[in-house]
Amino acid sequence: MISGNRPKLIATDLDGTIVPYLGPVSDRTISAFTKAHQLGIEIFFITGRPPRWMREIRDAFGFGNAICANGAILYDLMNEKVLEQWLMPVDIQLEIIGKLRKHLPGINFAIEYGDEFHRESEYMTKWDIGLDNIGVTKIEERMTQPAFKMLARCGNRENNEFTSDQMLEISSRELGSIANFTHSNANESLIEISALGVSKGQTLAKMAERAGLTSADCVSFGDNPNDFSMLQWAQRSWAMSDGHPDGPKHAKFVADAHHHDGVAIVIEALLELPA
């Protein structure tokens, strides 16, 4: 049983939360968010994705706000325009690279700024094929401007030398004072790196404050460590039952699996609450 009033803001992760790994967003999910939007509830799609991956979300829903790159970018989803960014300076990028090479043998890097994606030739990419098919020997060659995200991978598709959780624990312990580390897939060997103080939860809190809202007015949904900060922040939050096993430690409730429309089921119940 869900108690309280109808939320004034709904914040949700995308992949593994409302976007299936195989197939499009379900009609039930689109319908639930559409009804919430029509009732005047602010919708925030909050994702690790860069802006260039957001067109399918704009086309599927046709409304909503977006926070991309794990909190580093406030994005005008409908007009496809970056509104604000919180970036990592080049000197911090270089310090991260140098120290992680020592602590995580076999690590390889990629970097994102503007509409660009660059990688080391040994960095195995699955999603940005075509943007950088060759790569560089050392990513330092491409560290020419502040970045909204860095990515680091150990091993390759056949031989992951560290899990994402292991990489996250090591990098946060050794470098947590200069940057924010997270991941969005426990089944890989991949971490995502943002500027210090940048997270989904931090940026969501900023947007809520600007709108005159508090954590009590907001609900959030997510499945992986990059969502934990916004699950912790919102007074009502749901971890996905098929997400990272630590999700329920950070959320107040657990939603059904994403492929069973878990988020839509919760939103349908939330909309029955008094305004």
DSSP letter (8 states) at residue 19: B
pLDDT tens by residue, 191-231: 999 999 999 999 999 999 999 999 999 999 999 999 999 99
Whether 120 contacts 226, CB under 8 Å: no
CA distances from 135 to 19, 108, 120, 125, 138 (A): 29, 11, 5, 10, 9
pLDDT tens by residue, 2-31: 989 999 999 999 999 999 988 899 999 999
pLDDT tens by residue, 222-267: 999 999 999 999 999 999 999 999 999 999 999 999 999 999 999 9
Band of pLDDT at residue 187, cut at 50, 70 and 90: confident
Q: Domains plus CATH for the chain?
A: 9-85+199-270 (3.40.50.1000), 90-195 (3.30.1240.10)
Whether 74 contacts 53, CB under 8 Å: no
Q: Is the dihedral of CA 94, 96, 100, 103 positive or negative?
A: positive
Of the candidates 3, 170, 15, the one whose C-alpha atom is nearest the C-alpha of residue 101 is 170
Which pLDDT does position 157 carry in this prediction? 46
DSSP string, 194-213: EETT--HHHHHHHHHHHTT-
Which pLDDT does position 188 carry in this prediction? 87
Count of Cβ atoms closer than 10 Å to residue 146 Cβ: 16
